[in-house]
Amino acid sequence: MAYIERRGKNSFRLVVTIGYDEKGTPLRERQTVKAKNTTEAKKKLSLFEAEILTGKYVKPEKITLNKLYDEWLKNITEDVLSKRTKNEYVNVFEKRIKPLYGHMKLSEVKPIHVLNFVNGLKKDGARLDGKKGSLSTSSINNCYKAFNHILEFAKKMKWISENPGADIDTPTVHHKETEIYSTNELLKFIDYVQCLSFRWQVIITLALSSAARQSEIAALEAKHVDFQRGGIHINQALSIEKGSGVFIKDTKNKRKRFVSLPVQLMELLKRLIRIRKQEELKAGEYIEWPGHLFLFANEFGRPLRPDSISQWWGRFMKSDQFNKLNLRHIRFHDLRHSSLTYLSEKGLRSKAVQNRAGHARITTTFDIYGHGVESDEKIAAEFIGEMFKNNA
């Protein structure tokens, strides 16, 4: 037997009889829900009764954080969290949250527990690699996001009315200041790039010309090169999952874009594709990624790991041949910033810079490339000077 009881405006209690005790007294499960009207409440009653009859219903007061985590793990899909982010959250829960709070009932978790968790990450010894010191502000925030996301899932499942981690303050993330090459440095470096091996010559020229991320460069296939339009389609990225290896995923922010490239680079890409097709032909049945012709892969078609690009770059920065150039040491990712800053300084509209960068919001473009450009500051000072001069 199942029925509903009105508890107030848009509030109903669902009641399902699950049996009787030895005295004949009905045993009932109850759940209070929000519904627009009686019809909607009856629909929720049917679902509630079905959960109980199939054994899927779990009393909220009996759910522990470990049980919550198991349900979260089964139900959070890639359209909610990327595979990489989900793996990071799994790692945080398994190694940090579970040992401390996994045994606790969900109803017992309070804001103070989440706050203590965050503050504990700031203390010396919080690192899991055995090194001294606390975690970086970025790592602390990521750990908090994992905890908060799992608790928010419990709220959405109506197992708790409020998320105890929702209003916890976390430390401000301090990003390392981005290093970029000036125009003169770029010209000097581009001139030297011609001396590198063909593959790295193409990768670096592509990074500077397209401002693509290393994961996007590693994911480029022959089908993404558009010789008719003179550029590339950036539709995907490569990522790495521990234990599984490399896999294809969406670009950051899931933004697909077309990027025009200089004629010289298009010729290099044409030559590279010819080489890759010859290698694929030789590999025959031993090809590792059938149906994909990655631009940067080994002779069996296995794509270059995205992190191997920055690893090679790190070794290159320390080499004698680079040190002879007397250029500053920057990250591989800073080639992207250097390229976009150069275009911004040359007067390319912010919307065009945004599209080339693949930013979801133009405010991100303004924050990174719309401020602090020295030439812009000089022009601004000249404009202000003219204003005072005219009013003198």
The model's pLDDT over 221-244, given as tens digits with 9 standing for 90+, comes to 999 999 999 999 999 999 887 777
- Nearest to 146, CA basis, from 65, 30, 214, 258: 65
The first and second tokens of residue 201, run together, are 């010559």
Confidence band for 113, pLDDT divided at 50, 70 and 90: very high
According to DSSP, the β-strands at 11-20 and 257-260 are unpaired
Degrees to nearest 5, angle at CA 79 with 77 and 84: 70
Confidence band for 370, pLDDT divided at 50, 70 and 90: low
The first and second tokens of residue 215, run together, are 């994961």
Q: What is the pLDDT of residue 363?
A: 65
Q: What is the pLDDT of residue 267?
A: 94
CATH class of segment(s) 183-375: mainly alpha
Mean pLDDT of 14-33: 80
- Give the start-to-end residue ranges of the domains of the chain: 2-57, 65-156, 183-375
User: If 0-12 CB within 10 Å is exposed, 13-18 middle and 19+ buried, where does residue 200 land?
Assistant: middle
According to DSSP, residue 6 is labeled E
Lowest mean pLDDT among 170-174, 195-199, 200-204, 213-217: 170-174
Lowest mean pLDDT among 47-51, 147-151, 236-240, 260-264: 47-51
Residue 331 CA from chain centroid, whole number? 19
Contact indicator for 269, 225 with CB cutoff of 8 Å? yes
**For the segment 323-341, what is each residue's pLDDT rounded down to a tens digit?**
999 999 999 999 988 888 8
**For the segment 284-295, what is each residue's pLDDT rounded down to a tens digit?**
999 999 999 999
**For the segment 185-208, what is each residue's pLDDT rounded down to a tens digit?**
999 999 899 899 999 999 999 999
Q: What percent of the chain is modeled with pLDDT above 70?
A: 89
Q: Which H or E run contains 294? A: none
- Nearest to 201, CA basis, from 214, 191, 211: 191
Mean pLDDT of 128-143: 87
Q: What is the pLDDT of residue 85?
A: 87
Q: What is the pLDDT of residue 373?
A: 45
Lowest mean pLDDT among 12-21, 47-56, 237-246: 47-56
**Which residue in the block uniquely carries the two structure tokens 């693509």?**
212
Task: Write the secondary structure of 215-250 as one string of H (helix), E (strand) and C (coil).
Answer: HHHHCCEHHHEECCCCEEEECCEEEEECCCEEEEEC
**Residues forming a β-bridge with 249:** 237
**Distance in angstroms (rounded) separating the CA atoms of residues 28 and 16:** 5
Confidence band for 368, pLDDT divided at 50, 70 and 90: low
Q: What percent of the chain is modeled with pLDDT above 90?
A: 46
Higher pLDDT, 383 or 322: 322
Q: What is the pLDDT of residue 63?
A: 85
Higher pLDDT, 214 or 179: 214
Lowest mean pLDDT among 214-223, 254-263, 304-313: 254-263
Mean pLDDT of 16-30: 79
Mean pLDDT of 22-40: 84
User: Given a cut of 50, is residue 372 above it in pLDDT?
Assistant: no
**Computed from CA positions of residues 77, 78, 81, 87, in that sequence, does the dihedral angle turn out positive or negative?**
positive
Q: What is the pLDDT of residue 318?
A: 93
Q: What is the pLDDT of residue 170?
A: 87
User: Given a cut of 50, is residue 371 above it in pLDDT?
Assistant: no
User: If 0-12 CB within 10 Å is exposed, 13-18 middle and 19+ buried, where does residue 243 land?
Assistant: exposed
Confidence band for 62, pLDDT divided at 50, 70 and 90: confident
Confidence band for 57, pLDDT divided at 50, 70 and 90: low
For all residues of the chain together, what is the average pLDDT? 86
User: Given a cut of 90, is residue 3 above it in pLDDT?
Assistant: no
- Nearest to 205, CA basis, from 269, 294, 121, 153: 269
**For the segment 344-353, what is each residue's pLDDT rounded down to a tens digit?**
777 777 777 7
Q: What is the pLDDT of residue 305?
A: 93
- Nearest to 251, CA basis, from 263, 239, 267, 265: 239
User: Given a cut of 90, is residue 365 above it in pLDDT?
Assistant: no
